[in-house]
Structure 1
């Protein structure tokens, strides 16, 4: 059992709301988490055909005859239950009555918003973070974590990664995508996933993807929407301080899990990853995704952006969660620091009004170093995220309390 950071927030939600809804990608560990955190609750799973049939045929009796502390896993399979849960939870007027979980997030959230608005606290469980993976027997390095990713099952049973991700992709397509999208050719959707992987860390060009697949622009937008709502990938929007500034307005594309990303790129070993043309993009994806995961695990909504203007000046990641103290991060996959890696960072820090204490280069070498205009932080230290005061991690003790 690997401790999940989200557990603390989920417990809080159950003291604030009558219903708690936990979403996230398939096989991210939702069922394990809720059964561990709410071990004294009655547990039912609508994946079972007989249980699902009872819920669909008589939702009133299904809810009324159950415990007043109830977990319903894969709740989206019986949408009529949500209205009954609303009625019953209002009647009792207490917190922590129902814990709902589901992998088909577009259906789960639709039902929660329609029937349980204002009554349900929502949490998102993503694959293991780097910090959580350190609680496993494997204790992967940053490079190993990039390849393995954070889905719990490979950590639990030591399954071959290729076998795991091949099964995961097949199951995802068969169980989710075909039911909710007009995917006539499964091979087209597999090629679409691989094209998304090849575009990781790049501006999202819907037209190019559509042309490569031979499908419409609208189809690509629809498929991307499903992948985003299923927490497979996400878009990083551009940041611009002034509407009059000429900046890029197209978002970038990233995967929540670099293990899945590596599999789609045909990367099967650590040696292959380190020598791959996409290694820099995978490392950037790791830092961006882990930053987002950090906020979700604490029950917060990430406010993350990138910056690129018409002069090709760019910063990989702007963390605006604390709007009064934004952070600028340049992400480099090298183990060696060079002055040129931070030149744009220093310049844009001044342009965007971000002081040097909030600017850093994240790289794979040793660190940290506090330079005149920014810090240089080792990726391992950054991914620890032990920064309760909102500072950039991994630098305070080494460079003094006035630094990052």
Structure 2
């Protein structure tokens, strides 16, 4: 069992809010972590994909009122979106009776409909928490390469072999496209969405060029925007926005796009082992996305992630704005002997970040110059996590 950092934060939110929505892709471990939490308090678990459990909620107010003294865990809650209206009344009634926290834990696949429904009817009553796949700060240093290749979904990472892991991810992608996404609402041909997702994997860490993608798929730009919005809403793709606060420079305005889980990106490209990955042109950009996902996961709550690029060539791969406004500038290199390029120095001269780092695959930490340290992903993740 891999200990997840999010477990402590989830327990704190449940103890301080009437309802908590734990959102994340399927198979990321939401149910496991919720059931672990349930072991420490009176609780009841309902899987809304089960006909028997859905039948119990044919009269939701009557059933849930009978369990007002328990934490009610509702899994796959997007299957019953009308339930939110009932939860609002039950939460308000419980507040008047002195039961103000720890009432409902809602697990969902982060559909836009779920966010909209809960936002409309549970405003001021619900807290949101995003659960990502396992990141590099949650595994041993010796397992980081396995995590990079296989991705952070538990069944993929812990598979008995690279071949079994790749098969699991390929089946996961197929199931998501053919069954899960249609259940969440959009009616998009599975093969079209697979092609789009695969194109994003080929262009991992690249600037979004909607016109080029639209031509390749034979659709218009608005359709590409809708496809991208869907994958972002489902926490499967990250749209990293450019830094925009420096009005004195001509800045790149297009976002960079990443398939968030490196293992899924590799499965879309047919890459099943470390040897195949290192020989593939996507290796450098895949490592960049892998680093960004880990650092975004461990950064203090309220941090913002951007990249910085000017028309003159100044560039920072990842710019983290910490609570309070301090900037950390991070360059990501796949080389064991990383060098800081001129563009990074120019960008730092523009932005004056408080800290400068180069993340590389080695384990030693050492200064590249008086202002910049080279260090491993695990070490930088520990530095960021210490600020939480």
Q: Give yes or no for TM over 0.5.
A: yes
Secondary structure, counterpart of 1:141 in structure 2? helix
The number of aligned residues is 377
Conserved 8 A contact 1:76-1:111: no
Question: What corresponds to 1:58 in structure 2?
Answer: 59
Secondary structure, counterpart of 2:386 in structure 1? coil
CA distance in 2, matches of 1:387, 1:157: 28
1:145 to 125, 144, 147: 147
CA distance in 2, matches of 1:121, 1:324: 24
1:252-271, aligned counterparts within 5 Å? 252-271=256-275
Question: What corresponds to 1:381 in structure 2?
Answer: 379
* Unpaired runs of at least 5, structure 1: 391-404
Question: What corresponds to 2:29 in structure 1?
Answer: 29
* Counterpart check, 1:164 vs 2:164: no
CA distance in 1, matches of 2:56, 2:341: 61
Question: What corresponds to 1:121 in structure 2?
Answer: 127
1:154 to 149, 156, 172: 156
Conserved 8 A contact 2:156-2:166: no
Q: Deviations over 1:278-313 (max 9, x none)?
A: 110011011111111213xx6x24400111111122
* Counterpart check, 1:287 vs 2:287: no
Report the CA distance shift for 1:68/1:387 in structure 2 as closer, same or farther (over 3 A). closer
Question: What corresponds to 1:231 in structure 2?
Answer: 235
Question: What corresponds to 1:201 in structure 2?
Answer: 205
Conserved 8 A contact 1:248-1:310: yes
Secondary structure, counterpart of 2:334 in structure 1? coil
Conserved 8 A contact 1:329-1:345: no
* Counterpart check, 1:109 vs 2:106: no
CA distance in 2, matches of 1:387, 1:2: 18
- The offset of 1:166, in angstroms, is 1.3
Report the CA distance shift for 1:48/1:131 in structure 2 as closer, same or farther (over 3 A). same
Q: Deviations over 1:152-193 (max 9, x none)?
A: 11345537122111111111112333342231x322211111
* Counterpart check, 1:191 vs 2:195: yes
CA distance in 2, matches of 1:26, 1:140: 27
Question: What corresponds to 1:328 in structure 2?
Answer: 329
- The offset of 1:245, in angstroms, is 2.0
Secondary structure, counterpart of 2:276 in structure 1? helix
Question: What corresponds to 1:372 in structure 2?
Answer: 370
CA distance in 2, matches of 1:106, 1:62: 27
1:291-302, aligned counterparts within 5 Å? 291-295=295-299, 300-302=301-303
CA distance in 1, matches of 2:17, 2:382: 30
Question: What corresponds to 2:137 in structure 1?
Answer: 131
- The offset of 1:103, in angstroms, is 1.5
1:164-183, aligned counterparts within 5 Å? 164-179=168-183, 180-183=185-188
- The offset of 1:323, in angstroms, is 4.6
- Normalised by the length of structure 1, the TM-score is 0.88
* Unpaired runs of at least 5, structure 2: none
Conserved 8 A contact 1:254-1:289: no
Question: What corresponds to 1:91 in structure 2?
Answer: 93
Q: Deviations over 1:132-152 (max 9, x none)?
A: 233xxxx75332211011101
Report the CA distance shift for 1:173/1:385 in structure 2 as closer, same or farther (over 3 A). farther
- Normalised by the length of structure 2, the TM-score is 0.91
